[in-house]
Structure 1
Amino acid sequence: MARRNRCLIVDPDLPQAWHVSNRCARSLFLLEPEAQDRGDREPEDHRKELLLARLEKLVAVSSIEVLAFSVMGNHLHLVLRNVPEVGHAWSPREVLDRWLALHPLRNRQGPREPEAGELEALVADEAWVAATRRKLMDLSQFMKELKQHVAVAVNKLESGSGAFWSGRYKSKPIDDPEGHQLVRSMVYVDLNPLAAGLCDRPEDGRHTSLEGRLGRDQPATPQQAEPAERAPTAAFRRSRSASWLVPLAGEDPRSRMHEAARAASAAVPAAGRTVLAGLTLRRYLRLVDAVSRLLRAGKASLDRRLAPILERVGLGPEDLRVGFARMATGSPHF
Structure 2
Amino acid sequence: MFHLIYSGEFEMPRPQRCEQFGSSEVCIVHVVQRCVRRAFLAGIDHATGKDYSFRKEWIRRRMEALASVFAVDVLSYAVMSNHMHQILRNRPDVCAQWSDEEVAIRWLRVFPGRRLEEHLAEPTENDVKTLVRDKERLAEVRQRLSDISWFMRALAEPIARMANKQDECTGRFWEGRFKAQRIVDEAGLLACSMYVDLNPVRAAIAETPEECVHTSAYDRIEGSKGGMISSAAFDLKPIPTEEAARKIRETPVEALRGERKAKRRNPTGRRIRRDGWLSPLRLKPDMLSDQPEAHTGGLRSSDKGFLHLSLKQYKRLLDWTAKRTENGTTSVQEIPKAIAKTLAEVGIDAAMWRDLVWDWQKYFGKSVCVGRPESMREHAEQTDRHHYRGQALGKACFTA
The TM-score with structure 2 as length reference comes to 0.60
Match status 1:274 vs 2:305 = yes
Q: 1:197 is matched with which residue?
A: 204
Task: Kindly indicate whether structure 1 or structure 2 has the higher relative contact order, using CA contacts under 8 Å at least 6 residues apart.
Answer: 1
SS in 2 for 1:268: coil
| Alpha-carbon distance change, 204 to 175 in structure 1, aligned in 2, over 3 angstroms | same
SS in 1 for 2:196: helix
SS in 2 for 1:25: coil
Q: 1:248 is matched with which residue?
A: 281
User: 1:71-98: per-residue Cα shift (whole Å, max 9, x none)?
Assistant: 0001101011112211111111111100
From 151, 173, 180, the equivalent of 2:182 is 173
Q: Unpaired runs of 5+ in structure 1?
A: 252-261, 298-303, 310-334
| Alpha-carbon distance change, 115 to 89 in structure 1, aligned in 2, over 3 angstroms | closer
Once the two structures are superposed, the pairs formed by residues 164-313 of structure 1 within 5 Å of their partners are 164-176=173-185, 179-215=186-222, 219=229, 236-237=265-266, 240-249=273-282, 266-271=298-303, 273-276=304-307, 278-295=308-325
Q: Is the 8 A contact 1:7 1:169 kept in 2?
A: no
| Alpha-carbon distance change, 206 to 287 in structure 1, aligned in 2, over 3 angstroms | same
**TM-superposed deviation, 1:249:** 2.6
From 54, 59, 62, the equivalent of 1:51 is 59
**TM-superposed deviation, 1:274:** 1.4
Match status 1:140 vs 2:149 = yes
Q: Is the 8 A contact 2:24 2:92 kept in 1?
A: yes
SS in 2 for 1:107: coil
Q: Is the 8 A contact 1:7 1:171 kept in 2?
A: no
| Alpha-carbon distance change, 122 to 250 in structure 1, aligned in 2, over 3 angstroms | closer
**TM-superposed deviation, 1:189:** 0.4
| Alpha-carbon distance change, 95 to 270 in structure 1, aligned in 2, over 3 angstroms | same
Identical-pair percentage: 32
Determine which structure has the larger helix proportion and give its number: 2
| Alpha-carbon distance change, 46 to 116 in structure 1, aligned in 2, over 3 angstroms | closer
Q: 2:132 is matched with which residue?
A: 123
SS in 1 for 2:171: coil
SS in 2 for 1:98: helix
Q: Distance in 2 between matches of 1:153 and 1:249?
A: 35
- Matched AA of 2:33: N
**TM-superposed deviation, 1:116:** 8.8
- Matched AA of 1:206: V
Q: Distance in 2 between matches of 1:172 and 1:164?
A: 22
SS in 1 for 2:181: strand
Q: Distance in 2 between matches of 1:149 and 1:234?
A: 17
Once the two structures are superposed, the pairs formed by residues 2-81 of structure 1 within 5 Å of their partners are 8-9=17-18, 10-34=21-45, 45-81=53-89
Q: Is the 8 A contact 2:197 2:215 kept in 1?
A: yes
User: 1:50-70: per-residue Cα shift (whole Å, max 9, x none)?
Assistant: 111110111100111011110
- Matched AA of 1:294: R
Q: Distance in 2 between matches of 1:204 and 1:114?
A: 39
SS in 1 for 2:166: helix
User: 1:8-60: per-residue Cα shift (whole Å, max 9, x none)?
Assistant: 22211111001111111043431124499697xxx863211111111011110
Q: Distance in 2 between matches of 1:240 and 1:161?
A: 37
State which structure, 1 or 2, has the greater radius of gyration over its C-alpha atoms.
2
User: 1:108-132: per-residue Cα shift (whole Å, max 9, x none)?
Assistant: 2234276895532320211011001
- Matched AA of 1:124: R
Q: Is the 8 A contact 1:105 1:111 kept in 2?
A: no
Q: Unpaired runs of 5+ in structure 2?
A: 1-12, 233-253, 285-294, 328-333, 340-400
User: 1:228-273: per-residue Cα shift (whole Å, max 9, x none)?
Assistant: 9xxx99963595541111122389xxxxxxxxxx99x6113113x1
